[in-house]
Amino acid sequence: MESLSNKRKLIESKPLNFWERAYLPAIISGLSITMKHFFRKPVTISYPEEKREFSENFRGMHSLKRDENGKERCTACGLCALSCPAEAITMTAAERQKGEEHLYREEKYAAVYEINMLRCIFCGLCEEACPKEAIYLDGDIVPADYLRKDFIYGKDKLVEAPLNQ
Amino acid sequence: MELADIIVKFILVVIIFAISLVIAMYSTYAERKIAAFFQDRIGPNRAGPWGILQPLCDGAKMFLKEEIIPTNASAFLFIAGPSLAILTACLGSAVIPWGQDIQIGSRVIVLQVADINVGILYIFGVVSLGVYGVMIGGWASNNKYSLLGAIRAASQNISYEISMGLSIIALLMLTGTLSLRELAAQQHSWHWNVLRQPLGFLLFIVCAFAETNRTPFDLPECETELVGGYHTEYSSMKLGFYLFAEYINMFVSSAVMATLYWGGYNYPGMDWVALHTGPTVGPLIGVAILFAKIFLFIFFFMWVRWTIPRFRYDQLMDLGWKVLIPLAIANIVLTGLISNYL
């Protein structure tokens, strides 16, 4: 049969010569290869102590942003929850009361905002859907935990730290 | 023998026992660390500085694991297996001369537990007993993987003992003694036997790898085919004993190799050192030299383990019967001819 491409190569298997059959030269060359690796710098990154540099568009843990006056940007429109392919986001909206203007930017805000980190696939669609630039996946790797319920992150873990007055 | 001599001997026994256990313990650590270095990794580094407490943690873990004796296993033999393995592993170090006689005050201490005139034969006897631990354990487990591992271990050890013995015969033709103490004394300064018996040493080290079930001859515990080999059914400290016995075997066979071929406690310039350091410190330096050689051999064992893949079983038998035994016999003939006519 004619070959379709000319990538085919004929491989000939020669019988081993005496030195190849004697094993020892091959073993010695193998030992020298491993010895080279013995003195090579290890490639290990001891994770919790040292961290590998993330790429610029790395998507890690979510954070809910504040505006330049320290008010929460989120208005609980629900677009992030709607866009989420993993259905990881839930929220409860509430109306801003008198005297809370310094806390929330719009008249409506998220009283409860929860992301299930076990469901989240870190696709970044919530980030894209948000009209208020309130959610970004700019955090670290989500840490491990012991219980499933501890992976549901509420506002206490998600909202950015308040601005320093 | 007076009482003081017995006490000194007893202390020596305890020290050697403790040293071989500690070395076996830290061989497990060294194995992991060296394996890591060969693979561009770091290795255990969490337990203590540089992971130095890792063997203790491993030991504690082994003790705390649940002990399982399979229902259909032969309970007595199941326990006898690992006990025998570790017993025979420890026995070997009794005849090894660890150094020249030390003089402390007026007392001369012989750094050897038992100077028996058939030292090498004793070691061979103990080594060939070692396979019973594996065989009994593998058979008593009532598991086909264990049984296959045990059968492999038995046939492998028997095959390689022959060429090991033959390679030693050539050495004995030159030295004319079976006593390890005399053998070590003959290799004074730089007159190491490896210079007179390079082929014999090569054969011996290959057989030593096979006898200690180390890669490339670790077919009795070949994970890819036999799950865990002869210790598949073992758990807890009984498994620990098997693993431990392997490392003690490695230590003892390194010591034997160092004593038989690499001059034991002898090193070039030892007379000059002995003259300048006195009869107490001089022999101790020799002991340190012997241990340095032993550690080098243990390192070599590990180096080979992380380099060479294991043999197929028929290749193993081919190598043992068709290559090593003829070579060993040729070595005997050559040695005879050369020592007679040159």
ipTM for the whole complex? 0.75
A146 found inside a domain: yes
Number of folded domains in chain A?
1
Least confident of A52-56, A77-81, B113-117, B302-306: B113-117
For the purposes of burial, counting CB atoms within 10 Å of the CB of A108, is it exposed (0-12), middle (13-18) or buried (19 or more)? middle
Instruction: Look at residue A91 and give its three-state secondary structure.
Output: strand
Residues of chain B with pLDDT under 50: none
A111 found inside a domain: yes
Closest-CA distance, A48 to chain B, in angstroms, reads 12
Q: Does B224 touch chain A (CB under 8 A)?
A: no
A57 found inside a domain: no
Mean pLDDT over each residue of chain A, to the nearest integer: 86
A140 found inside a domain: yes
CB B155 within 8 A of CB B314: no
pTM: 0.81
A92 found inside a domain: yes
Q: Where are the domains of chain B?
A: 70-341
At A82 the pLDDT is 92
Closest-CA distance, B323 to chain A, in angstroms, reads 10
CA-nearest of B301, B284, B291 to B259 is B291
> Domain range for residue A72?
63-158
CA-nearest of B271, B274, B265 to B294 is B265
A75 found inside a domain: yes
Q: Please name the residue of chain A whose CA is at the shortest distance from the CA of residue B300.
A: A31
Could you give phi then psi for residue B120, rounded to 5 degrees?
A: -65, -40
Instruction: Locate A148 and state its tokens.
Output: 């499933």
CB B313 within 8 A of CB B321: no
Q: Measuring CA to CA, how many Å separate B203 from each of A8, A135, B206, B280?
A: 44, 70, 5, 36
Q: For residues A16 and B127, give the distance between their C-alpha atoms in angstroms, rounded to a whole number.
A: 35
* SS (HEC) of B244-267: HHHHHHHHHHHHHHHHHCCCCCCC
At B1 the pLDDT is 63
Vertex B53: Cα angle to B288 and B43 (nearest 5) = 90
Q: For residues A75 and B5, give the distance between their C-alpha atoms in angstroms, rounded to a whole number.
A: 90
Q: For residues B34 and A38, give the distance between their C-alpha atoms in angstroms, rounded to a whole number.
A: 8
CB contact under 8 A, A30 and B308: yes
**B36 to chain A: which residues are within 8 Å by CB?**
42
Tens digit of pLDDT for each residue in A95-133?
Answer: 988 888 888 888 888 889 999 999 999 998 999 999 988
Q: Does B318 touch chain A (CB under 8 A)?
A: no
At A23 the pLDDT is 81
CATH of the domain at A90: 3.30.70.3270
Closest-CA distance, A30 to chain B, in angstroms, reads 6
CB contact under 8 A, A42 and B41: yes
A73 found inside a domain: yes
